[in-house]
Structure 1
Amino acid sequence: MLKKGLLVVLVMTMVAGLLAGCGGDQDGEGALLDEVVFMTVESPAAAVRQLQGGDIDLYGFDITDPTLFEEIADDPNLDFGLSYGGYSEIRFNTWGPTFDNGMFNPFHDAQIREAMNWLVDRHYIVEEYLGGLGEPKWTFMGKKFPDSAIRYPHIVEEIEDFYAHDPDKAAEVVTERMEALGAELVDGTWHYEGEVIELTALIRADLPPYPEAGDYFVGLLEDLGFEVHAPHYTGAEANPIWTGTHPREGNWNIYTGGWSSPVIPRCSAHTFDQFYTHRVMPWPVFQVLQEPLEADFPELNNASRRLREKDFTTMEEREELFDIALWEAMKFSNQIWICDKAGANPYRADVKTAVDLAGGIGDPAWVWTTHRHEDGEPVGGDLRFAVPNFFVDPWNPVDGSAFTYDNMVNRRALGDMGILPDPRDGLYHGKRAERAEVTMKTGMPVDQTLDWVTLDFADEITVPGDAWADWDAKEQRFITVDEKYPDGVTALRKSVVYYPDDIFDHPLHDGSTLSVGDFVMGMIVYFDRGKEDSPIFDLSYQAELESSLNMFRGVRIVSTEPLIIETYSDLWYLDAEVNATTWWPVYGTYDWSGFWHMITVGKLADAARELAFSNFKSDELGVGWMDYTKGESLPILEKHMNQAAEENYIPYASVLGEFISEDEAAERWANIQAFYEEHGHFWVGAGPYVLKSVHPIETTAVLEGFADYPDPPDQWFFMLGELEME
């Protein structure tokens, strides 16, 4: 009964979420809270106890245990919101046939990986280990979100039928392939070249349905004749192994993990590239996919690339590509998907917060809505925000920790954003961007919902010759459209984003104010890190940039007073609101905000090969993975900051010298030096909260409200309400 009631609520919320809301603007400015303390509570049961005892105010994790869910629902001192964006996987190490240590890895074989889909009983996992608070899944697409539930349910159903639980078929395929690969079953145990094949499965201890579902999977493998070593790890313990070591080292064969959608995925086309290729994620486990993908799965590689690049013009073409990619992904199965999870996101009754239908209480939903209240009226005060783990990987704003709970702090809370997703339907509202005009090529299947953006169509969209189309890393200059495309070029999409007249009065946390140099710096680094002639070249980013350049046609700063930016691209989305490219200064896969002087500190250390922005480059060079907030990175970054201040250094001076004055540079360097002296870190932001302090041993971080944040604190409270049905 609990399962049915919860799923009905979720479905109704999803239907409502496909409609639009409207915003408001009220008096006042500043953050909603005086201080937010992030801390670690690994166990959901412990978190519920601490919520009940008043020791914490909010838990940033979806509770999937039916008993705990009922406790939360029955407690008058607690409240909760529902989310359906968490999902579970079993991931495989694809390196092989043997590791550097000589051990044979059966999961280098795609057919053995594919067979795991028949081996696992997903329905059993959901019922037995989640108490029905979830739904079995075979593809990465959320079962309640548009691509799976509305656009392509027929494809998903066919896949589910074909890969339905069939352990006999799984055993048959595994046996056939193991023998073909030269393995031998001796007394019920698989051997290779006379040695027992021992698998290592990293079982998450803190991520339902694991560890129980992980132990269940281990039992299935043992029944097939494998010896399995299966230690239980928290996410913080497992992450350095499966993402931080190279697959060839053989530290693991299997990882039972999970992902979450931070916002409602209105379009999933780009996600194939994230999960099945080397073109998005920088970790070695993804980078090694390039060779088998290109050699053995060209259809998946091509369809995935085309979907990410939106290399289609009709919904019929899109469906054909989804059909290819979904089926080929099942054959590739570098991971298999287990279930979506329905979760309760709990908090104290004197707290209000938006709960994203996909992402739950997370970034960015909590940042502009979470507050204390008395009799329904907002009040200030402090908040104790608990998460399951924290400080998993180093924090830097270019290619740092991608872990969900780290990003709850270091993305929007510190950094702000150009456009803001609505937690109820996933549509974007103008945030720092004031308005936008989107022009699409005639016939493109794009719709507009919210009135901050306009949408029109044109038979041809010609890119102006003086727009910036690429970057010459050797000469440190932009390449114009006229240079790159001497015969001219057209685009499928044009966006014109208008910022308010006072955008350059926007304060940064160190006393500086936003400048056009921050925007141009973001544009440059977007190109520069992927270019081999760049001092900060990163091989793990190269494929992503090259893929992006296949779609990118040009950017032009039309005006700086006010700031107006045109973008031309063949990358497009189904919603006009998402087609507005803001160029708000963000970096990396997860769009961390960064400003030219704080980014330069890290750039200088990366260029000197003393630290590296990415984990991949860190391993490649044998230097530290850069951390702006703690640890051994700080004295290195401090050295480069002081040297830059002494020289009044302007990065990329051949370009940025036009946008950053000597006076601005002097002010920025003085400000960040003072900020570092006061706070002991380099994370200068522009969001509603300042990173006051970090405490890695205690795994806590303290944020304080930014008194100069210019927006009304209750500006986004409309996101706390339900969407009206139309």
Structure 2
Amino acid sequence: MLLGTITALAQPTSIPASTSITFISYNGDDANGILAFEHGQIAFYAYSVPPSEYTSLPPGAKAYLMPATYYDVLVNPLNTTFGFNPFQFQEVRFALNFIVNRTFFVDNILHGYGIPSITLYAGEQCVLHIQNTLAKYAYIHYNFTYANETIYKVLTAHGAQYVNGKWYYDGKPITVYVFVRTDATVRSEYAEYFISQLEKLGFTVQEIQGNLQKEISMVYGSDPANTTWDILIEAWGDTYGYYDAGLIEGLYSTLGSSAPFTSYYGLSFGSFNDSKYESPLLLKEANEIDNWSLTLIQSEFTNAAQYYQLVNDIVNVGINMSVRIGLGISLTPQYVLSNINGVYPNYAQGSLLNFQTYLSIVNGSYPNVTIGVRYLTQGAANPGAGFTDAYTDEIATALFTPAALTVPGSGYPVPYIYSFKIVNMTPNAVVPVPSNALWWNPAKQQVTYVPSNTTAQMAVIYNLAPLFNNDKWADGQNITLADIIYQYIIASEMSLNSSNPIYDSVTSSAYGPSLQTIKGFKIINSTAIEIWGNDWFFDPTEAAVSLFGSFNPLGYALAGGGYFPWQVYVGMKDVVAEGKAAWSQSDAQSKGIDWLNLVSPTDVGYILSALENASTSGYIPNSLIQIEKLSNITLVTQQQAISGYKAAISFIQTYDNALIGDGPFILVAWNPSASPPFAKIVKNPYFHLVPPQQALLIPMTYSISFNVPPTVTAGEVLNGTVRGTPAGSTQASPVANVTVYLELLHPNGSIIFSTQEMTNNQGQFTFNIPKNLSSGSYILTIAAYQNTSILINPMEVSLVVLPPVTTTSSTTTANLSTTSVQTSSSSATSTTSSGINVGLIGAVIAIIIIVIAAVALLRRRK
């Protein structure tokens, strides 16, 4: 990928730049967090709060605008056993699109700092590729009358009664249960608006109030067919990527364990088989989405066009299904003190507390930084199916090194802990996997040679020397191939066979599809491994990064992943196998045990005991021994095993946590019960892994000025300018070499014409209105795009085309012809959608799409 010219921060002279970072939790009290920032007591408050909540800003405070949080309305599509759920009918769910009022949400709830969206994609690069699908729904806007009439027609047809403005079924009021997050200002404020709309429709509404922990338990941890919630305003972090099929795979499908319905491939919320409660249409759509998602996950496409067609198919059915109804993404600025440097708004991680910030943040001449957080945690920290909430993840990100970083403003992957060489790569699974390659055999529950005649789409050699030579575990032990390979083993054990004692239904949905794409691996030497798999992609870097991610998938929604010493995994495995704790919250609840948490004194004690027992015998997992026998290569000696156990034991006894990572910091204090709650991380003396320069590019937000007179004529040339503002700055200037995409559409959204231009040195571009365009009203979409900053932000203008000016030889006065120009039979367009006649069109809406910056299969609840 060619990287555009853009500002980059200087490499920190010391990695990380700060000696320690202290986190102060305000337990959801945003006002106190804001007050502490206003008084200069914290570097910044790590939560998106509308600017209107600030009374005053410290002098020189810097604003970082970023797509931090995606919002949607989650609808329970099942008829619950306790009552009559009106949203079991798809027509009723779809009608909600006309009352969610996305414009109100952005303008009044986000105070203008946001991008409305009908789909899961809001502001992402993929929006450029789903225009044909989005165009089909251009008619959707706030229309209460339409929603009311539709709902009335459907509910009365199914036996409901509408009496004196209220809905009843079997003589009882139809009650809609809305979960309201009282600890989230944006969500609670919008929930109250949405409740007013539901009441206006005639429903009786019952609020269920709670925080993130209650939401996770009551909504995501309950069976949708036997629960007391119908509506939830959701918020997700980590929702941005360059190639982001993971967003729709994880949230539209059942595969991410986040859907309140069942398909043939996945269960409701990863644990509940609710197919018998679902309408035939819902089950059909769920299976379609999961089929397409698996095709994407398993790389069963042969080019970019097929890939984006699958994305369009999923988006189209996802909108129709209306289980997740898009609202939009926030662009709320997060303010930072003037003396704090090295802060990155990483769009892919959706937080200022991202890996690049941890590497570079510095407090003037002081070695320490204090940061305010909303909560220390609202979940659990474990690499199987913990790390589900943004708060836990934001701190843990400092403790673990990602296999690949992302360009901050785009989400494009940059390999970090390894270099790679593509040996073979083809969209068809014809690459032979050698017979002496190894894999985890799910049926035999052990490592074996691959089956005969195994083929794959890719073969890639990964050299992990950058990691092994420049980093160690936080307990001081060397990182080796045994650690990398054992993560693949553990992930397979917990995901691929339900008879395994550490199997978890949630991890099976989360990791199973990716692990099944791995067709074999082979140890090359002490630092290199070759992997075969079906992770082909039309972008070679993305393909290589994705293949390695499928081999080492753990970490759930944690951007740093699940990299722990293999000995710590032995301890966690022992705790789960003995039934003392579970990887996922849903399995923990169903079994009445702990949700494994590596900062919980109880669970840490369990792990410590398991490590002490393993250390006594110098235990080496049978899977690692089997790999050594089959490959004739030594991965770990008993002495190394004992040394690693002792180091992990010493770390846990010293710091009272088992978060032994390979990142730039070590967690040395975690006290959620203190007043105020706090945590502290200190510089990891073993970390010396220098980040690639392209991973330190500063995002730039773009604004477009486009000169649109009240009326235009066919063939007229319109002019525009693109200006860019670097993150943390208020100075905008014209930007050269920005690609500008322009699409001309009918008001109903069908595409007539598309082209692209490049800005000149003054940031200017032009648009030539097609000469053969009939008079009428049109939609024009414009997108300014650079692959280092690809945030797409819609806005509206008007474009009215009049007949062309005509002249005669007897006069120099231009007269407007009253005859419409007819479309030529040979369409003169750069890119034309087939079967569309350009004719006289009614009312005008024009949308200018501004692109500023653009993968995660799983998302973090906020």
**TM-score relative to the length of structure 1:** 0.85
Does the aligned pair in 2 maintain the 1:363–1:408 contact within 8 Å? yes
Query: What's the offset of the Cα at 1:501?
Result: 7.0
Note the C-alpha offset of 1:520. Answer: 1.3
| Equivalence for 2:506 | 540
Distance 2:521 2:692 in 1: 34
Matching of residues 24-35 of structure 1 within 5 Å: 29=15, 32-35=18-21
Gaps of 5+ in 1: 1-14, 374-378, 445-457
Alpha-carbon contact 1:31-1:709 (below 8 Å) kept: no
The corresponding residue for 1:701 is 679
Tell me the residue number matched to 1:183. Answer: 160
Partner of residue 664, structure 2: 688
Superposition map of 1:310-325 within 5 A: 310-325=299-314
Give the counterpart letter for 2:392 in structure 1: D
2:110 to 127, 130, 134: 130
Pair 1:669 & 2:645 matched: yes
Q: CA deviation at 1:236?
A: 4.4
Match of 1:413 among 394, 398, 403: 398
The answer to whether residue 67 in structure 2 is matched with residue 80 in structure 1 is no
Counterpart in 2 of 1:204?
181
1:28 offset after TM fit, Å?
5.0
2:428 paired with 1:438: no
What amino acid sits opposite 1:708 in the alignment? Y
Q: Does 1:113 align with 2:93?
A: yes
> 1:185-226: per-residue Cα shift (whole Å, max 9, x none)?
344332333332322211234445332221111011111221
> Out of 613, 635, 653, which is 1:643 matched to?
613
Compute the displacement of 1:536 (Å).
0.8
Judging changes above 3 Å, is the alpha-carbon distance between structure 1 residues 294 and 467 closer, same or farther for their aligned structure 2 residues? Answer: farther
Please say if 1:286 is aligned against 2:269.
yes
Checking the alignment, whether the CA contact within 8 Å between 1:364 and 1:408 is kept in structure 2 is no
Structure 1 residues 18 and 389: alpha-carbon distance in aligned structure 2, compared to 1, 3 A threshold: farther
Q: What's the CA shift string for 1:358-400, capped at 9, x where partnerless?
A: 5241333322222222xxxxx4522222222331112112211
Match of 1:147 in 2: 126
Higher RCO (CA-CA < 8 Å; seq separation 6+): 1
Write the distance in 2 (CA, Å) between the matches of 1:555 and 1:390: 39
Among 213, 234, 237, the residue aligned to 1:257: 234
Offset of residue 113 of structure 1 = 1.6
Q: Residue 568 of structure 1 aligns with which residue?
A: 532
Cα distance, 1:599 vs structure 2 = 1.4
Conserved 8 A contact 1:19-1:725: no
Distance in 2 between residues matched to 1:721 and 1:169, nearest whole Å: 41
296-305 vs 121-130, which deviates more?
A: 296-305
Assess, with a 3 A threshold, how the Cα gap between structure 1 residues 714 and 541 changes in structure 2: closer, same or farther.
closer
Alignment of 1:469-508 (within 5 A): 469-472=439-442, 474=444, 476-481=445-450, 483=451, 486-491=452-457, 493-500=458-465, 503=468, 506-508=471-473
Write the distance in 2 (CA, Å) between the matches of 1:397 and 1:297: 28
Q: Are positions 1:529 and 2:494 aligned together?
A: yes
- Structure-1 separation of matches of 2:2 and 2:525: 39
Q: Aligned AA for 1:511?
A: G
The whole-number CA distance in structure 2 between the counterparts of 1:327 and 1:715 is 38
Equivalence for 1:89: 72
Cα deviations across residues 678-724 of structure 1 (Å, max 9, x unaligned)? 11121111111111121122443211111232246998894358699
Structure 2 contact 438–447 (Cα < 8 Å) conserved: yes
Deviation string, structure 1 residues 100-128 (Cα, Å, up to 9, x no partner): xx233223333322221122211122222
**C-alpha distance in 2, partners of 1:549/1:228?**
43
Q: Residues of 2 paired with 1:587 and 1:251: CA distance?
A: 32
Superposition pairs of residues 322-361 of structure 1, within 5 angstroms: 322-352=311-341, 353-357=343-347, 359-361=350-352
Percent identity over the alignment is 18
Cα distance in 1, alignment partners of residues 477 and 361 from structure 2: 27
**Which residue does 2:140 correspond to in 1?**
163
Find 1:398's aligned residue among 384, 389, 392. Answer: 384
Q: Secondary structure at the match of 1:319?
A: helix
Alignment partner for residue 370 of structure 1, among 361, 384, 404? Answer: 361
Matched, 1:558 2:527: no
CA distance in 2, matches of 1:676, 1:661: 23
Question: Which segment drifts farther, 204-213 or 46-55?
Answer: 204-213
Structure 2 spans left out of the alignment, 5+ residues: 261-267, 629-633, 701-725, 727-734, 738-862
Distance in 2 between the 1:240 and 1:194 partners?
32
Provide the residue aligned with 1:467 in structure 2: 437
- Which segment is superposed worse, 596-605 or 656-665? 656-665
Quick one: distance in 2 between partners of 1:552 and 1:672? 30
CA contact (8 A) 2:472 2:478 kept: yes
Aligned to 1:40: 26
Structure 2: which amino acid aligns with 1:675?
A: F
2:439, 2:519 within 8 Å by CA — same for their partners in 1? yes
**In 2, distance between residues paired with 1:325 and 1:189?**
36
CA distance in 2, matches of 1:501, 1:384: 31
> CA separation of 1:711/1:505 partners in 2, compared to 1, >3 Å: closer, same or farther?
closer
Whichever residue aligns with residue 659 of structure 1, its letter is: L
Q: Which amino acid aligns with 2:33?
A: A
Q: Matched residue of 2:360: which SS? A: coil
**AA partner of residue 119 (structure 1):** I
Match of 1:520 in 2: 485
**Structure 2 CA distance for partners of 1:539 and 1:714, relative to 1, 3 Å:** closer
Q: Deviations over 1:529-559 (max 9, x none)?
A: 1212322111223344442255332222222
- Give, as a single letter, the amino acid of the residue that structure 2 aligns with 1:612: A
Paired with 1:61 and 1:364, the residues of 2 have a C-alpha distance of 17
Instruction: Give the match's secondary structure for 1:84.
Output: coil
Residues 604, 657 of structure 2: 8 Å contact kept? yes
- 2:333 alignment partner, SS class: strand
Cα shift readout 1:281-329 (whole Å, capped 9, x = no counterpart): 3687533587345445433332233233332112332333233211211
Relative distance call for 1:37 and 1:270 in structure 2 (3 A) is closer
TM-score by length of 2: 0.72
Q: 1:462 to 1:169 in 2, by over 3 A?
A: same
Q: Secondary structure at the match of 2:334?
A: strand
Q: Which moved more, 1:656-665 or 1:458-467?
A: 458-467
Question: Structure 1: how far apart are the matches of 2:511 and 2:699?
Answer: 39
What amino acid sits opposite 2:401 in the alignment?
Answer: D
What is the alpha-carbon distance in structure 2 between the residues aligned to residue 597 and residue 687 of structure 1? 17
Helix, strand or coil for the counterpart of 2:697? helix
1:6 corresponds in structure 2 to none
Whose Rg is larger? 2
Deviation of 1:258 (Å): 1.0
Structure 2 equivalent of residue 7 of structure 1: none
Please name the residue that 2:246 is paired with.
270
SS in 1 for 2:332: strand
Cα distance in 2 for partners of 1:641, 1:536 equals 17
User: Aligned to 2:44, which of 39, 58, 71?
Assistant: 58
Map of 1:11 onto structure 2: none
- For residues 239 and 18 of structure 1, do their structure 2 counterparts lie closer, same or farther at Cα, with a shift above 3 Å needed? farther
Report the alpha carbon displacement of residue 586 of structure 1 after superposing the two structures with TM. 5.7
Moved more, 104-113 or 619-628: 104-113
User: What whole-Å deviation, never above 9, does each CA across 1:130-174 have from its counterpart, x for those lacking one?
Assistant: 22221221001123x2110x2223422332x14322222222332
